[in-house]
């Protein structure tokens, strides 16, 4: 071995002696203790099916690390699942748990001075939490996508978890009965892994590959398939080589790599949540990349090449068979930074040299896209000077303009109650505020309201405007999410009153509140902001430390020396 490992302490020192005593008691030999020490980051949990298979994967990857001459140590972190952890504290734990993962990894990996890490990527927030930790610690790191769940059939129709989520909104609105919702929920999931649509989890798995942080061809993949385990074993061998080569995340996470990730998300019309997660990763890498601006630049020239459910009718299985992220990147090749370095030690261009697109109907070429316009739009105006995000998908039969009047709510439950009472009608701009990174804190989920409106048949005729976050899976109607600045910090959203006229034009990228500036100034003088010390426990720490969305809602703002 050519490289001196940071984990190998000087013999005879207290660090060496006490660690040796601990590890000898674990059955390790002195020869083991000289090997590259690899953290295997595992978010295993019995709370959610997303994580239920990770212990088995960890065992296989540890065996592969040992076979390659490394010494693996399995490390557990928290495991957030939107569908399981949303009930507590109005759903505000969800985004906050992303940063808890980052800090948990730092404490364990840096405290023990381990040499590298493999991250078993699964549900939504675990992936960015791990990427952020890789960027922060800057030790050789490899992301391993651990697969999507098989979905089911109900009443002779495909059903998956996103349809259950949507169906719950339809049930609230009275569009479907309880028995139908019950049957959907009993048949939607047929095995472990993340949601099977192109939601945040699969989008972030694709991001890992496009960013250069996962092995080429590894995303997406069916959970617990032999193909997945082939990549798991390859990753176990590769991470040991990366430590010996001293190949680090900040060598990979360049501006070109982030642009490649942005284009990959746009090409599949992926989750809008990827934007803030990649901005947070850029912050942790101590770069000066404005990912929101970079993403916006990429929207102007990146068409939609594939439409996996729920954006289109393509199944995730068909997308994987067509080549997944690697084939998307092959089709995007003329637009990519081909010199960007990856975990293979080779450039993106080298990795794509022999790539073949399995089905050019599933993953289209640039000259024959499904849509020549971006499926994700950033809108700006006096109601969102820092921007808001609209998922427009393929734009087919999608209402892109809105002109109506505000009805304001401080909580999703209040909006749903108003809907049940018949107080929401066509032409309403439903304002959901106080759900941003400070106001939540940690971004409350607004999708329940969106789905209930859709179930009530109002989806095409209203707009929803919120500083909260939206499901990475399904969005219906014209919805502007993550409005910035948020209401809790005095953003214009806090000044909107019932009856105010609002216009949104997703085609032109604009959002405007039609109230004279003098009136807004008068309203601002009487605005009372939320007490920023209103929480307890972890959310209190988050509330005091979180940065705005422009910094990805990361907890720290790094300063370069």
Residue 72 token pair: 């693996």
- State yes or no: is 471 an active-site residue: yes
C-alpha to C-alpha distance for 323 and 224, rounded to whole angstroms: 18
| Active-site residue identified among 52, 196, 218, 471 | 471
C-alpha to C-alpha distance for 250 and 236, rounded to whole angstroms: 21
Q: What is the DSSP letter of 88?
A: G
CA distances from 352 to 68, 175, 361, 464 (A): 26, 47, 19, 41
Q: Is the dihedral of CA 531, 536, 541, 546 positive or negative?
A: negative
For 86, the 3-state DSSP assignment is coil
C-alpha to C-alpha distance for 454 and 477, rounded to whole angstroms: 8
CA atoms lying within 13 Å on the CB side of residue 338: 11
Q: 111: burial class by Cβ within 10 Å (0-12, 13-18, 19+)?
A: exposed
- List, in sequence order, every beta strand (DSSP E) within 155-247: 157-159
C-alpha to C-alpha distance for 31 and 101, rounded to whole angstroms: 32
Q: What are phi and psi of 401, to 5 degrees?
A: -125, 150
| Site of tokens 């790094």 | 558
H-helix segments, 113-199: 126-137, 161-172, 178-187
Beta bridge partners of 478: 463
Q: Which residues contact 321 (CB under 8 A, 6 or more apart)?
A: 358, 359, 362
Q: Which of 474, 476, 477 is nearest to 198 (CA)?
A: 474
Q: Which of 200, 474, 147 is nearest to 317 (CA)?
A: 147
C-alpha to C-alpha distance for 420 and 422, rounded to whole angstroms: 5
Q: Kindly report the CA angle at 201 between 85 and 95, in degrees rounded to 5? A: 40
C-alpha to C-alpha distance for 531 and 521, rounded to whole angstroms: 21
Q: What is the DSSP letter of 356?
A: -
Q: Which of 555, 535, 538 is nearest to 546 (CA)?
A: 555
- List, in sequence order, every beta strand (DSSP E) within 372-462: 376-381, 384-391, 401-409, 428-432
User: Which residues are identified as catalytic?
Assistant: 471
């Amino acid at each position: 071995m050519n490289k001196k490992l940071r984990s190998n302490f000087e013999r005879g020192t207290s660090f060496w002696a006490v660690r040796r005593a601990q590890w000898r008691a674990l059955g390790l030999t002195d020869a083991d203790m000289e090997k590259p020490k690899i953290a295997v980051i595992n978010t295993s949990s019995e709370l959610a099916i997303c994580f239920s298979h990770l212990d088995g994967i960890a065992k296989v990857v540890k065996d592969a690390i040992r076979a390659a001459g490394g010494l693996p140590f399995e490390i557990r972190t928290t495991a957030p699942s939107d569908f399981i952890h949303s009930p507590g504290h109005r759903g505000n734990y969800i985004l906050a748990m992303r940063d808890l993962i980052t800090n948990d990894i730092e404490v364990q990996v840096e405290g023990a001075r381990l040499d590298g890490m493999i991250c078993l990527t699964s549900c939504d927030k675990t992936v960015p939490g791990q990427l952020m930790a890789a960027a922060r610690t800057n030790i050789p790191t490899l992301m391993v996508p651990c697969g999507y769940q098989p979905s089911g059939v109900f009443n002779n129709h495909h059903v998956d978890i996103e349809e259950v989520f949507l169906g719950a909104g339809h049930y609230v609105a009275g569009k479907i009965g309880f028995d139908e919702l019950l049957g959907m929920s009993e048949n939607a999931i047929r095995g472990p892994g993340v949601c099977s649509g192109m939601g945040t989890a699969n989008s972030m798995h694709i991001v890992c590959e496009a960013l250069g942080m996962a092995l080429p061809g590894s995303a997406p993949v069916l959970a617990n398939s032999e193909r997945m385990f082939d990549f798991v074993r390859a990753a176990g061998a590769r991470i040991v080589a990366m430590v010996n080569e001293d190949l680090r995340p900040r060598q990979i996470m360049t501006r070109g790599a982030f642009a490649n990730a942005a284009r990959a998300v746009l090409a599949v019309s992926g989750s809008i949540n990827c934007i803030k997660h990649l901005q947070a990763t850029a912050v942790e890498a101590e770069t000066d990349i404005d990912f929101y601006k970079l993403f916006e630049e990429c929207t102007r020239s990146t068409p939609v090449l594939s439409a996996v459910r729920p954006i289109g009718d393509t199944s995730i299985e068909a997308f994987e068979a067509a080549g997944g992220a690697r084939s998307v990147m092959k089709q995007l090749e003329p637009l990519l930074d081909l010199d960007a370095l990856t975990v293979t030690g080779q450039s993106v261009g080298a990795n794509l040299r022999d790539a073949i697109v399995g089905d050019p109907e599933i993953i289209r070429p640039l000259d024959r896209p499904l849509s020549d316009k971006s499926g994700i739009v950033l809108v700006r105006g006096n109601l969102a000077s820092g921007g808001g995000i609209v998922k427009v998908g393929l734009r087919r039969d999608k209402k892109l303009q809105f002109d109506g009047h505000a009805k304001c709510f401080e909580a999703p439950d209040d909006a749903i109650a108003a809907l049940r009472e018949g107080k929401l009608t066509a032409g309403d701009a439903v304002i959901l505020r106080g759900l941003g990174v400070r106001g939540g804190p940690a971004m409350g989920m607004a999708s329940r309201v969106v789905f209930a409106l859709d179930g009530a048949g109002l989806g095409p005729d209203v707009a929803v405007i919120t500083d909260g976050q939206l499901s990475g899976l399904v969005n219906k109607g014209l919805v502007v999410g993550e409005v910035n600045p948020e209401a809790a910090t005095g953003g214009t959203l806090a000044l909107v009153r019932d009856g105010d006229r609002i216009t949104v034009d997703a085609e032109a990228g604009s959002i405007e509140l039609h109230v004279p500036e003098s009136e807004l100034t008068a309203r601002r003088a009487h605005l009372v902001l939320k007490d920023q010390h209103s929480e307890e426990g972890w959310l209190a720490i988050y509330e005091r430390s979180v940065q705005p969305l422009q910094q990805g809602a990361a907890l720290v703002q790094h300063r370069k020396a």
